[in-house]
Structure 1
Amino acid sequence: MKLKELAVLFTLAALFGSSFLFVRIASPAIGPFLTSQGRVTFGALGLLAIVLLFRKSVDFRLRWKQYFIIGALNSAIPFTLVSLAAIHLNASLLAIINAMVPFFTAIAVWAWLKEKLVFAKGLGIVLGLIGVVITVGWSPVEPSLEVFLASLCSLLSTVSYAFGGVYAKKTFRNCSPLAVTTGQLVGATLLLIPITLVGFPEQTLNITPAVLPAVLGVALFSTALGYLLYYYLIEHVGPTKTVTVTFLIPPFGMIWGAIFLDEQITPGMIAGLLIILGSLALITGIGKKRSRE
């Protein structure tokens, strides 16, 4: 990766890492379905405003099926699963489990795009997973059935993200990040409307002063702006290297959780993160000269 692309990667990690903080605040208060709906709807409205203001082109008529598919894989399904998990898991643990994305992406790329899984990249993925196991194993969250099911929801979201990244690379060649992100969030908004109506929480909503800023934050910054940078990287460095951002998300997720939610950061979590950061160098090839064709 070039220095510019690495800067984008770390900015994206900070934005995606903040999403777990925002969701952790909103989901227990207004429910997972309304949280996901607000996330994609406000994100789509923000991007549509940019499209109209700068007169950009988003071809909904020709690509509407593709936008629905990418909207489901990269937004509707994983956002809902993460919002469900956020009821029982803290922001730090949500961010850590999200680091499983590269593992499933490598499998999807190998099976779908026939990309070779070189030794260094495979070793980096294994090393990253070891770091995740160490971090989760020393988590301060008390084990229970609810925590197990929440962890499973969070894990399933990474599978959806993985196939979404590969589908984006395969389908949206030569498309601007703005067009893909806008189409994705519009598609996800329409897909989630009936689910939100059916799953709308029956209990009284606990709308605190922090809820609306959390929903707007996850929609405009973590999602709309985040995916603009995400698809920029997909186009320039490919899906496998792009999803290594998930190895950087846990540090940011833990930092945001510690600052704003007083979540505990244990020595085991720090040790696991050091291993994860080491794996990032292997997968992205940092420090190696670009091979000549």
Structure 2
Amino acid sequence: MSFKHLSALLLLASFWGSSFLFMKIGAPALGPFFLIESRVLLATIFLLAYAFIMKQKLSLKVHWKQYIILGTINAAIPFVLIATSELYLTSSLASIINATTPLFTAIISILWMKETKSSRTFFGLILGCIGVIILVGWNPIAFNMKLVIAIMASCLAALFYGIGGVYSKIAFQHTKIKPLELAIGQQFGASIVLMPLALLYLPNQLPSLSVSFSVLGLAIFSTGIGYLLYFYLIKNIGPTKTLSVTFLVPIVGIVWGVIFLHEPVTASTFIGLITILISIFYVMDIKNILLRTNKKI
């Protein structure tokens, strides 16, 4: 992985990390379905406007079936699952659980794409999951049935992200589709799937200013710009390394949760984060990235 790709990965982590804060604010007021429909529909409009300004030609009709599938498994389902889980979980904990995505991705890559993984990669992935277990297992929140279901929903979302990452690699690897068109196609596909449910579960009142800003931040930064970076990385470094970004997302998610929502941070949080940071070193092979960068300089 080049330094350019690492920089894009860090930027993506900052955008996706903020999405948990935005969903925590928006989900109770708008409901998961309407919130996520607003997210993907506004992101589609934003990206279409960007494509128009940049005079980018789009051919969405050619791969419309793939976009519906991708939008369903890589956006609609996991977005709604996470938004639902955040009705009962803190944004910090939801972002932490999301860090299991690379493990699911690696397993799916082996079973579906017959990829071979180095022992270094497996060690890093396992270590990252241990970090997540430390964070969840030592969390001060009292366990009950709603909390268990919420945690399961977050884990299921991570599974769908893994499936979506591998599917996008398989479905579009022999095409010349640009990341911009992939991002538009996915969000548009998700908006079509979610539209009936969003209309069925309309909010009872107009959103507050903070909720409105959260929806815009979720749509433009976490989704629109975020998925431009995501598909760029998928095509250049593959799904497993791209989705290792979710090891970084909890750090951002925890910081935003503490600053804006005053969510508690315990000693186990720091122990878990240190474990996750070490896992990133192995999964992404940062040592070799730095060595190659120094040689170029």
Q: State TM-score, norm by structure 1.
A: 0.95
SS at match of 1:60: coil
2:214 is aligned with 1:186: no
Q: Which moved more, 1:174-183 or 1:133-142?
A: 133-142
Per the alignment, residue 139 of structure 2 pairs with 139
Letter in 2 for 1:126: I
2:40 is aligned with 1:40: yes
Letter in 1 for 2:196: P
* Contact 1:98–1:158 (CA under 8 A) maintained in structure 2: yes
2:56 is aligned with 1:56: yes
SS at match of 2:62: helix
Per the alignment, residue 10 of structure 2 pairs with 10
Q: Which moved more, 1:34-43 or 1:50-59?
A: 50-59
Q: State TM-score, norm by structure 2.
A: 0.94
CA distance in 2, matches of 1:148, 1:281: 31
**Percent identity between the two aligned chains:** 42
* Contact 1:58–1:183 (CA under 8 A) maintained in structure 2: no
Per the alignment, residue 172 of structure 1 pairs with 172
Show structure 1 runs of 5+ residues with no match.
none
CA distance in 2, matches of 1:156, 1:177: 26
Per the alignment, residue 25 of structure 1 pairs with 25
* Contact 2:91–2:254 (CA under 8 A) maintained in structure 1: yes
CA distance in 1, matches of 2:112, 2:161: 15
CA distance in 2, matches of 1:233, 1:176: 11
Shift of 1:206: 6.8
Per the alignment, residue 277 of structure 1 pairs with 277
CA distance in 2, matches of 1:128, 1:235: 24
The superposition leaves residues 136-193 of structure 1 with CA deviations (integer Å, 9 ceiling, x where unpaired) of 1122322111111111111110111001001111112332110100011111111100
Letter in 2 for 1:133: I
Once the two structures are superposed, the pairs formed by residues 189-268 of structure 1 within 5 Å of their partners are 189-201=191-203, 204-205=204-205, 207-268=207-268
CA distance in 2, matches of 1:205, 1:258: 28
* Contact 2:43–2:224 (CA under 8 A) maintained in structure 1: yes
SS at match of 1:244: helix
Aligned length: 288
Once the two structures are superposed, the pairs formed by residues 125-136 of structure 1 within 5 Å of their partners are 125-136=125-136
Once the two structures are superposed, the pairs formed by residues 36-185 of structure 1 within 5 Å of their partners are 36-173=36-173, 174-185=176-187
RMSD: 1.3
Letter in 1 for 2:72: A
